[in-house]
Amino acid sequence: MFRGASGYERELKELLQGDPEAIERYGRGLDPVDREVLRRSAETPFLVVRAAGSLGFDLVAMRSELAFPVEVKASSHDTIHFSAASGRAAEQLVAQRRRVERVGLIAVYAYRRLGHRGGDPWRVYAAPTPPPPGRVLALVRKRLPVVDKTAKGNAVLRWDDGMPLVRFLEAISFWTARPGNGSPP
């Protein structure tokens, strides 16, 4: 179905946009409760644009109460080390952090576990930035697990530590649908 990094970017883009076919296809691998959460999240879709090459992020997701840039990573391993590939990912993380802090946003990292069976293969994290202004973004930043660091101080994504995509979609739908309420379901 999807091949290469751009295929996973496309999958995530379609899910965030609430594309009915993508929701149905992705939902087949989820339990019935998560499938229903995914369907409900499609009622409050994002406008998602591919930003690869121009902003240093892969996607930008936007809707009236919330906007965030997304960096998409995919691996069959349970850990992605940013120090791999000559440290390019580590440099990218630092540059992205500066960009989002400057404008009061958070960067979201989405990790697609290749070959994962039985449940949600996506995990979501926040870049290590101070809480941004604004109620919803501050809640998202507070609740999302942060990109971790190794003992040597290198950034790392540990798949087991991330928030499943379905839980993320459920939480942001809850936070943006109920003004003044700051607790996820």
pLDDT (tens digit per residue) in 150-161: 888 888 999 999
Give residue 6's pLDDT: 77
pTM value is 0.86
The residue ranges of DSSP E strands in 6-154, in sequence order, are: 47-50, 59-63, 66-75, 79-81, 108-113, 122-126, 148-149
CATH of the domain at 142: 3.40.1350.10
96 domain-assigned: yes
- Domain limits at 164? 4-170
177 domain-assigned: no
Give residue 2's pLDDT: 41
Give residue 1's pLDDT: 40
Q: Which residues pair with 111 in a beta bridge?
A: 73, 123
63 domain-assigned: yes
What does DSSP assign to residue 146? B
Give residue 3's pLDDT: 46
Give residue 56's pLDDT: 77
Overall number of domains in the chain: 1
What does the alpha-carbon distance between residue 90 and residue 111 come to, in Å, rounded to a whole number? 15
95 domain-assigned: yes
Residues above pLDDT 90, as percent of the chain = 52
Range 12-49 burial, b when 16+ CB lie within 10 A, else e: bbbbbebbeebbeebbeebeeebbebbeebbebbbebe
79 domain-assigned: yes
159 domain-assigned: yes
Residues of the chain with pLDDT under 50: 1-3, 178-185
What does the alpha-carbon distance between residue 64 and residue 16 come to, in Å, rounded to a whole number? 14
Give residue 91's pLDDT: 75
